[in-house]
Structures are given as C-alpha cells and as structure tokens.
C-alpha cells in the first residue's frame, strides 16, 4: 500500500551500534551489543602506531626459514597492519607455521621512568593463532615492568595443520601503562597491531586494460544529432514526457511544485497494481525503469577515445568492461560520439561486439570525412538506451487493457470460480513421455490444460527439477495430436530457454510445423546443430549464422518458439490459439503481456510455467521494486485466493517429483522453500559414485579426513575479495585457485565403471560476480567445456556437479557486526537457484565467517559438517562460549569501559 503522507509514524529509538535493534536496557546487556560496542571502540579509539611521547617503541620482525625472500611489511601502515604475502610452496617449506617477533622497548628520556605491560594477547579466539611469552607460557600471567633501555619480546604464531590458500588476520593488543606518577586511567593505553598473512599463488593474469576514463553522468550540450543512415528499429510511440523527466530522475523523491509529482503518484495509488490503475500504473513504472537504465548507461560515458576506421567503414571503439557486460551492448544498439566542445554529435549502430571493443557502422558521411583527416582525434562517447523493449511493453499493456484480457489477470474481482470438466481422458498409450502417467501432478496438469476452454491463465508451478518444461512440451504434443488446426506460441524470457524448448519440440515436429524465430542480436553460437533447420538462420561467408526474415513461412506453421520480447513482431502474422510461457517467474509482467497480447479471440489458453521461489525479474529501479515491479505475473496470480486455495487444480498444479538431484542436496531447499513437499526420485543421482567421494581429501591427501564422501562439500577459504580498475565487480583469487584444484581432482578420478568418470561437461561453476566469472574462465582455459556463469545464467539449468564460489570475504575483527552486507548470499531466491542446480555433487567454496551470517547458508554449512565434509581452512567457532572468551579478553584490555 502507498504510504499516506499525512500520517507520521514515530519510530522506536534504534541502537546506534547494532543498528537493527531497538535500544533498551535489556538489549544493552546482551553479548551482541557488548561485542559491537567494543568493536566500535577498537576501530575508533585505538592506538595503531607507536606514540613517541610515551617513550615506547614496538618493533616487529618475522623469523624466516629456508632463505625465502618474503614480501613482508615490517613497518605498520596507518591502520596498524603488518602484511605478509607468501606462496603455498613457501609456507609448506616453513613447516606450515610463521613466527612474528614483537619487541616492546622502553626508550623514555627519564631513566627513573619505567613502563608496565599490564596485559598482552590475541584479541580473537582461533586455534591456529597463539602467543608465546618469554617464559614459554601461552597465557599472560602477571604484569611486566620494563625499565628504560630494556625490552620485552613476545612471539605471535600462526600454525596450520595443512597449507590452505587464504587470508589470515591476527589482531594483537598490548595494554601498557607509563609509570609517571599519574593514575592508570590517565597513563594507560592500548597499543594494537594486526598481522595479515595472505597465502596464495602469485597472480599471473593479465589485467583488463583501464582504457578511456569513464565519466559519470556528464550532460552533453548537443544542438544537432546526425542520425544513423540505417534504421535502428527504435520507436517513440511511448516516450517519457519531457516535463516528467526530472521527477523520474530523482526517483519520485523530489517535488518540483509543478504538479507533475502529484500526477505521477496518482497513477500509482494505492501502491500496487489493480484492475482500475493497470494501464497508468505500468506505464509509469516502465518510464521509471527506463530512466534508471539511462542513468546507469551514463556511468559508462567515455572521453578521449580514439575511433579506428576500417576499410569497410566500420568504426571500432575499445570499451573497457565489455567482457563483464558493463555496459551491456548488443548488436543493433546505438552509440553516439562527438568531438570535445562540438555541439554536433554522430550516432552509429553496433554491428558487432567483441570481448574488448564494439564495431559501429552507418554513421553520417561527415564523420568518416573527419576520421580520414584526423585519425588520432580523441572523441567523447556515450551509450544510448535502446527503447525498443520498453516500447513493446508499453504497447502490450495498452492492447491487454483495450481488448479486455486484463480482467482475466484479476480473477478475484471479475471471474466466477471455474471448474474444468475433463471430457478428454489420456491413457498411457496416448502419452509420448510414458513417465508422465506415473507422475500424478504432471498428468493432472496436462489433463486440466487440454480440457480448458477459457482465457484464465493456468499455472504449472514446478520447483527445481520437477519437469516443468517436460510438462508443457507433452501438453503441446497432446494438443497437436488431438487437433489439426490449433496453433501454439512457445515463449521464454531468454534465448537459452527458447533453444531448449525447440530441442524438445523438435523430437516430434517437422521443420514445416515448428519454427524457432531469433532476433538479429541473438547469440547464434548457443544454437545447437540439431535445431538449426528449425531456426530462421542461414550460414554466412565466415561459417557463422545470420538471421533472415521468415514470416511468410509461418502460414502453415503449427508451433512458433521465440522470446517474450520478440513476440510482438508476430502481431498480425501468427495468431496462436494457445500460449505457453516457460520460466515465467523470471519475466516482468508487461514482458509476459508481449506474448499474451497476440491472443485474438475468446477460448484461448495461456499457460505459465515457472517457480516463484527462484529468481524473479531483474529490475534496476529501486522505486519500481518498491511497487513490486520485480514480482512476476505468475507470482502475483499465485497469491490470488482463487489460485492459492485451488484444491481441485483448476487453476494451478504444483509438480512435486524431483527427477534431478540427490536427496541430500534437496533436503535444505525442500525444507526452506517447499514445505517438504518435494520427492527426490532420481536413482541415477542417488547411486552416482561421485556423491560418495570426498574430493577435498584427494586434493590435500590428508588422512585426517574420513574416507567417506557425501553429495555436499563445504570448503572453507579465507580469501580476499578485490576489485580491478574501474570495475564495480568483485573477484577472489583464493577461491579461483580452489575451484581449479577441485576441477582437476574431479577430472582425475577413475571409477570402476568408466562411464561414471567425470568429464568437463559434467561440471558447472556458479559465482555471483561477472568479474569472478571472467577470472575463472581465464584460469580454466584448458578445461573449456567446464561451464562458468552467474546464478542467472544457470536458472533452469542442471549439471552433474556444481561448484559455487561465493567470492565475498570481507570480515571485521570479531565478525559479529551485522551492518556488513553479504551481497547475493543474503538473497533467498539466488540461494535457492544456486544450490538446486546440482544432480549428484554440490561443492560450496566460501568464507564461512561471512557466509554464516546468513541463516540459510549457515544451515548448509552445518549439513556439510554433519556429513563429515566441512573442510578447508580451519575456522573459529563462534558459539556463545567462544564469544564470551573474546569478550573477557577485550574487557581485560579495558576496551569495555
């Protein structure tokens, strides 16, 4: 509901230290509050470096073995850190341990003054970290007086049972008092150091070129734009109204007193979509989302860019970040260039995108003349938002409202409950996929759909691996068999999902009956050879594929497969009787309407297949998310009482039998997301020998790990997250290294049944950050068939073995501060997608100290621990007893005053 501006809610006072807690005496007495308060004092008030006026020096040295030249910084930085970078080989030859010598020296001017070490110790509790005092003890027994000119040395020790890549942070404190006649409160202080040890192979990767410096949101003062000589297929039937632009730019947070703010807000009342506000509501959200896209693209504007003119008049521009899809540029987009200070700009159309550059064509001839005369001239470059997708969604919204179909999208208010009379009964012999007959939910969904005769959408809700695509493909087969004239439109948000649909349909369709229509910008390399004959593709001179128009061939076609965004091109060309939308939970509602808007008469059937518990639509605008633009039509309908309370499956069927994964892999997602309704039935996954093999033991060859493996391994890596150049994306070299070790170990396993040996195509690597994908693909070059992708790329996919690299590794001193955001790992739908892709083996590589802050990931860690396959770098136990130990140590250092 939209907030009433006239109602002012008095919020309860929040704790300024813990942030998300109400400040009460009871809260102030909790261990959490005490720890966070100490952490704040430690960060804000501690003495990082030696204080000359106190007459105290702290010298640090590292005992080196075997003559290695270590990258050790003996002098502390401004944060009091001493850093050491060491390779795994060096660390192993160092007996898997390091000794740091801390020498506290009294250099006071007055020989009558001495200092007293009141306490010394490590400020956290972790088995590999220890402190050794001169008497050989590991605990500080009593204060030590240090006379002028004398010193006192303690050893800080890091010892691991086995060498592990990662970053180890050892915080140390020395509580010291100068005996100058003042009280302890006046003369005592805390001197701290942190020893940060990074164990990893030196990076040999080539960094992506910094390239031209991006400019942030520079406003171009252009009087004249030279348009491309070829149409870019853009439309301007639904442009953002000029007087609305500023209000949209400020995200509806600024009222310019011109009435525009109120006008826009009125379209969004009551704060969510309704039958009454449907048209205006989605028009406003689409313009808000487009504005967010435009502002996002402006971040990548560049200056002083050299344009390389090729002989065929293509113009090449190097764009840093293309490999990471930052910005996302596809064939057919428009890019605008101009000379600095010039008020004329030139627009070209993207004809090809490579890993580091884009080729542009169809510029006005004046630009080519300039480049011929001044080839080294530096240009300013900006990226133009392609409005075509927004235009199509705007138009689809209008069509749905104008033809009245919008009524079927609000069944609670406008439609009486329906009951599907099953006049057609399917026997086992009728079914192409015989397994359907023994799957009650699949059979029921198909029966209901083929007997349906009204426009109300039918939902096939399928949790991971339950056969959503199989269900709708079998439904199409039955309708094609039972009717001779009905035509079917099969859609999905992505080209990959459309290609998969085509593969399944191609098993029982001729090339005259089935057509896969692809856009010009579609990645043709993803098209498998077995479906090429069904696609609108022709081989070009370089051996690749070009798209061709094929609308004339659709007259006798029964089934068309295309993406939701391309579907509007079929308006007036292909009139479907039934529309099936796979992965419907991933699409924005107006995106789904692009397909539904092709319906032309009563009695058409719409089927939405997807999983509302997995990834939803990707929305850039935070304002749009506030109004649930990231909620798909499928998910919205599922919340309607008629769907929610549908015991007879007249509106929706939930598929329950999981044909993909090992029961152990399904256990957590089944409990967290699906009320334990999923039934694992994959005998292949259950009996796969890889599920019983402990891979990490093969990597480290350490007998301390049991011989018994499990379908889930959680490998602890205390790595370091980094960014590179201007990239906003993270990567983690330690996790990359561990992924490589896992892949190599998997490929080297030999089973008695050689058919069960692991091939590169069996392995998928999921990571949330595009930069980590880039690093992993680079490191896995010789294993090119190992697929690496983001969570989004693996939606709807499956692999025998999935390796997840979570990347995030930042942690504070105590790892108790909940202000830290753990990125994608805190998003339930991404978690659900990531852990349900694996059939037989799920391997998670992560920093457990960060990941455990999320309850769902912590449960996965605990599951691996219960199975005996929590492995990797040892981690501190953060139970209540350990936290109390840390609290006692810090209180001893007088940090808890």
Cα angle value 492/494/496 (rounded, 5°): 105
Residue range 17-37: average pLDDT? 73
Tokens at 432, concatenated:
């192409």
Angle between helices 278-298 and 260-268 (to 10 degrees): 120
Instruction: List, edge to edge, every strand of the sheet that includes 166-179.
Output: 71-72, 81-86, 188-199, 166-179, 114-122, 144-146
Q: What percent of the chain has pLDDT over 70?
A: 86
pLDDT at 363 over 50: yes
d(CA 867, CA 669): 17
**Which range is least confidently modeled, 619-623, 730-734, 882-886?**
882-886
Examine the pLDDT at 3 and tell me if it is beyond 50. no
pLDDT bucket at 814, cuts 50 / 70 / 90 = very low
pLDDT for 402 equals 95
Question: What is the rounded average pLDDT for all residues in the chain?
Answer: 85
pLDDT of residue 208: 41
By percentage, how much of the chain surpasses pLDDT 90? 51
Give the contacts of 586 (CB within 8 A, at least 6 positions apart). Answer: 493, 494, 610, 615, 616, 617, 632, 795
Give ranges for CATH 2.40.30.170 in the chain. Answer: 214-386
Question: At 820, is the pLDDT very low, low, confident or very high (cuts 50, 70, 90)?
Answer: very low
Interatomic CA distance for residues 790 and 771, integer angstroms: 10
What's the pLDDT tens digit per position in 830-839?
999 999 999 9
Assigned token pair, 664: 């152990």
Q: What is the pLDDT of residue 837?
A: 96
Look at residue 582 in the predicted model and tell me its pLDDT: 96
Mean pLDDT over residues 73-83, rounded? 83
188 DSSP β-pair partners = 177
Tokens 């609670």 correspond to: 412
Q: Give the pLDDT band of residue 44 (cuts 50, 70, 90).
A: low
Give the predicted TM-score (pTM) of the model: 0.84
Give the model's pLDDT for residue 552.
Answer: 83
CA distances from 66 to 155, 202, 646, 790, 886 (A): 19, 19, 73, 42, 35
User: Span 535-560, mean pLDDT?
Assistant: 87
Residue position matching structure tokens 């995030």: 808
Q: CATH 3.40.50.300 region(s) of the chain?
A: 404-510+571-655, 665-882
| Position with higher pLDDT, 140 vs 817 | 140
pLDDT interval class at 315 (50, 70, 90):
very high
> How does residue 411 score in pLDDT terms, banded at 50, 70 and 90?
confident
| Model pLDDT for residues 86-143, shown as the tens digit of each residue | 888 889 888 899 999 999 998 887 776 788 888 888 887 788 999 999 988 888 878 8
Q: Is residue 812 scored above 60 in pLDDT?
A: no
pLDDT value for 51: 53
pLDDT band at 429 (very low <50, low <70, confident <90, very high): very high
**Would you say the C-alpha torsion 760, 765, 771, 776 has a positive or negative sign?**
negative
Mean pLDDT of 18-22: 67
pLDDT value for 516: 96
The residue whose two tokens read 């915080």 is 171
291: Cα separation from own chain's centroid:
23
Class of the domain covering 46-199: mainly beta
Mean pLDDT of 50-55: 57
> What confidence tier does 50 reach under pLDDT thresholds 50, 70, 90?
very low
Over the stretch 801-811, which tens digit does the pLDDT of each residue have? 999 999 987 65
CATH architecture entry for 214-386: Beta Barrel (2.40)
- Give pLDDT tens digits for 688-708: 999 999 999 999 887 777 778
Q: Rounded distance, CA 121 to CA 105, Å? A: 17
Nearest to 715, CA basis, from 749, 741, 688, 689: 741
What does the alpha-carbon distance between residue 305 and residue 302 come to, in Å, rounded to a whole number? 7
**Where are the alpha helices (H) located in 219-277, listed in sequence order?**
245-249, 260-268
pLDDT in tens, 710-760: 999 999 998 888 877 656 678 899 999 999 999 999 999 999 999 999 999
Highest mean pLDDT among 1-10, 47-56, 206-215, 565-574 belongs to 565-574
The domain at 404-510+571-655 falls in which architecture? 3-Layer(aba) Sandwich (3.40)
- The DSSP call for residue 804 is E
Q: How many beta carbons lie within 10 A of that of residue 62, not counting itself?
A: 18
Do 282 and 290 contact (CB within 8 A), yes or no? no
Which CATH superfamily groups domain 665-882? P-loop containing nucleotide triphosphate hydrolases (3.40.50.300)
DSSP state at residue 11:
P
Q: What is the pLDDT confidence band of residue 824, given thresholds at 50, 70 and 90?
A: low
Task: Please report the pLDDT score of residue 1 as a whole number.
Answer: 38
Buried b / exposed e over 430-443, threshold 16 CB at 10 Å, is: ebebeebeebebbb
Q: Taking residues 268-295, what's their average pLDDT?
A: 95
Task: Answer with the residue of higher pLDDT: 879 or 490.
Answer: 490
Q: CB of 855 within 8 A of CB of 862?
A: no
Residue 67: pLDDT band by 50, 70, 90 thresholds?
low
Instruction: Flag whether pLDDT at 427 surpasses 90.
Output: yes
pLDDT for residue 69: 65
Give the pLDDT of residue 49.
Answer: 46
Tell me: pLDDT of 206 over 50: no
Q: What is the pLDDT of residues 321-361, one digit of tens each?
A: 777 677 888 888 899 999 887 889 999 999 888 878 999 99
Mean pLDDT calculated for residue range 23-29? 79
For residues 2 and 357, which has the higher predicted lDDT (pLDDT)? 357
Beta carbons within 8 Å of 531's beta carbon, 6+ residues apart = 499, 502, 503, 506, 516
- Specify the residue for token string 């090449």: 316
- Please tell me the least confidently modeled range out of 2-11, 158-167, 193-202, 249-258: 2-11
Q: How confident is the model at residue 11 (pLDDT cuts 50, 70, 90)?
A: very low
Reported confidence tier of residue 7, pLDDT bands at 50, 70, 90: very low
826-859: pLDDT as tens digits:
689 999 999 999 999 999 999 888 888 788 999 9
Confidence of residue 416 (pLDDT cuts 50, 70, 90): low
Q: Is the pLDDT of residue 560 over 60?
A: yes
């Amino acid at each position: 509901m939209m907030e009433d501006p006239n109602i002012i809610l008095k919020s309860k006072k929040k704790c300024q230290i813990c942030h998300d807690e109400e400040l009460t005496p009871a809260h102030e007495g909790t261990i959490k509050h005490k720890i966070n308060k100490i952490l704040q004092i430690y960060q804000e008030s501690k003495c990082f470096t030696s204080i000359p006026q106190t007459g105290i020096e702290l010298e640090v040295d590292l005992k080196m073995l075997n003559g290695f030249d270590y990258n050790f910084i003996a002098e502390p930085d401004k944060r009091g850190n001493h850093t050491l970078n060491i390779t795994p080989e060096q660390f192993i030859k160092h007996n898997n341990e390091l000794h740091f010598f801390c020498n506290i020296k009294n250099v006071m001017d007055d020989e009558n003054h001495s200092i007293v070490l009141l306490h010394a110790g490590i400020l956290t509790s972790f088995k590999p970290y220890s402190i050794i005092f001169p008497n050989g003890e590991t605990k500080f027994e009593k204060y030590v007086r240090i006379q002028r000119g004398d010193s006192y040395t303690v050893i800080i020790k890091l010892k691991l049972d086995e060498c592990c890549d990662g970053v180890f942070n050892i915080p140390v404190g020395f509580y010291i008092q100068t005996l100058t006649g003042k009280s302890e409160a006046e003369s005592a202080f805390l001197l701290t150091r942190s020893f940060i040890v990074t164990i990893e192979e030196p990076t040999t990767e080539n960094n992506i070129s910094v390239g031209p410096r991006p400019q942030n949101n520079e406003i171009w003062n252009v009087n004249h734009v030279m348009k491309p000589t070829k149409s870019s297929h853009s439309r301007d039937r639904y442009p953002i109204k000029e007087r609305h632009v500023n209000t949209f730019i400020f995200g509806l947070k600024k009222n310019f007193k011109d009435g525009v703010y109120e006008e826009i807000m009125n379209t969004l009342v009551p704060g969510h979509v309704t039958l009454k506000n449907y048209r205006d509501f989605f028009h406003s959200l689409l313009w808000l989302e487009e504005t967010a896209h435009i502002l996002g693209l402006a971040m990548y504007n560049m200056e002083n860019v050299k344009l390389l003119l090729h002989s065929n008049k293509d113009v090449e521009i190097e764009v840093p970040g293309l490999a990471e899809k930052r910005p996302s540029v596809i064939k057919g987009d428009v890019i605008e260039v101009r000379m600095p200070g010039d008020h004329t700009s030139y627009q070209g159309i993207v004809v090809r995108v490579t890993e580091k550059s884009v080729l542009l064509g169809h510029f006005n001839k004046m630009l080519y003349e300039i480049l011929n005369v001044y080839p080294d001239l530096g240009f300013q470059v900006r990226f133009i938002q392609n409005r075509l997708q927004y235009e199509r969604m705007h138009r689809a919204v209008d069509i749905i409202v104008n033809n009245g179909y919008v009524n079927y999208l609000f069944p609670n208010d406008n439609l009486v409950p329906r009951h599907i009379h099953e006049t057609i009964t399917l026997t086992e012999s009728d079914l192409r996929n015989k397994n359907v007959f023994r799957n009650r939910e699949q059979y029921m969904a198909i029966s209901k759909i083929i007997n349906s005769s009204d426009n109300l959408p039918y939902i096939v809700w399928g949790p991971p691996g339950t056969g959503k695509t199989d269900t709708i493909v079998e439904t199409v087969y039955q309708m094609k068999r039972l009717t001779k004239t009905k035509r079917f439109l099969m859609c999905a948000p992505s080209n990959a999902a459309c290609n998969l649909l085509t593969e399944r349909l191609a098993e029982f369709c001729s090339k005259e009956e089935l057509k896969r229509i692809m856009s010009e910008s579609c990645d043709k390399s993803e098209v498998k050879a077995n479906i090429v004959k069904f696609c609108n593709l022709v081989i070009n001179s370089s051996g690749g594929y070009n798209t061709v128009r094929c609308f004339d061939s659709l007259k006798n076609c029964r089934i068309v497969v295309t993406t939701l965004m391309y579907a509007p091109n079929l308006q007036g060309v292909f009139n479907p009787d039934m529309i099936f939308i796979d992965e419907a939970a991933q699409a924005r509602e107006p995106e789904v309407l692009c397909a539904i808007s092709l319906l032309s008469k009563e009695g058409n059937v719409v089927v939405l297949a997807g999983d509302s518990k997995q990834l939803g639509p990707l929305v850039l605008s935070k304002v749009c998310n506030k109004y649930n633009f990231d909620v798909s039509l499928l998910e919205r309908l599922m919340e309607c009482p008629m769907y929610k309370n549908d015991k007879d499956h007249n509106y929706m069927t939930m598929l329950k039998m999981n044909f993909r994964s090992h029961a152990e892999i399904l256990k957590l997602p089944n409990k967290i997301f699906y009320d334990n309704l999923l039934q694992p039935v994959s005998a292949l996954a259950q009996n796969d020998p890889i599920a019983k093999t402990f891979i990490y033991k093969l990597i480290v060859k350490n007998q301390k790990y049991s011989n018994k493996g499990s379908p889930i391994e959680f490998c602890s890596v205390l790595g370091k997250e980094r960014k590179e150049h201007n990239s906003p994306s993270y990567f983690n070299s330690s996790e990359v290294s561990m992924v490589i070790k896992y892949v190599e170990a998997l490929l080297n396993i030999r089973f008695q049944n050689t058919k069960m040996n692991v091939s590169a195509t069996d392995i998928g690597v999921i990571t949330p950050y595009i930069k980590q994908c880039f690093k992993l693909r680079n490191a896995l070059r010789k294993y090119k068939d190992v697929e690496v992708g983001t969570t989004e790329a693996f939606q709807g996919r499956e692999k025998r073995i999935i390796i997840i690299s979570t990347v995030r590794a930042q942690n504070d001193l105590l790892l108790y501060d909940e202000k830290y955001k753990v990125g994608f790992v805190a998003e339930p739908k991404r978690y659900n997608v990531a852990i349900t892709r694996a059939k037989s083996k799920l391997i998670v590589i992560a920093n457990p100290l960060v990941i455990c802050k999320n309850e769902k990931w912590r449960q996965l860690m605990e599951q691996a621990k219960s199975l005996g396959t929590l492995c990797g770098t040892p981690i501190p136990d953060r139970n209540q007893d350990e936290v109390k130990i840390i609290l006692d140590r810090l209180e001893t250092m007088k940090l808890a005053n």
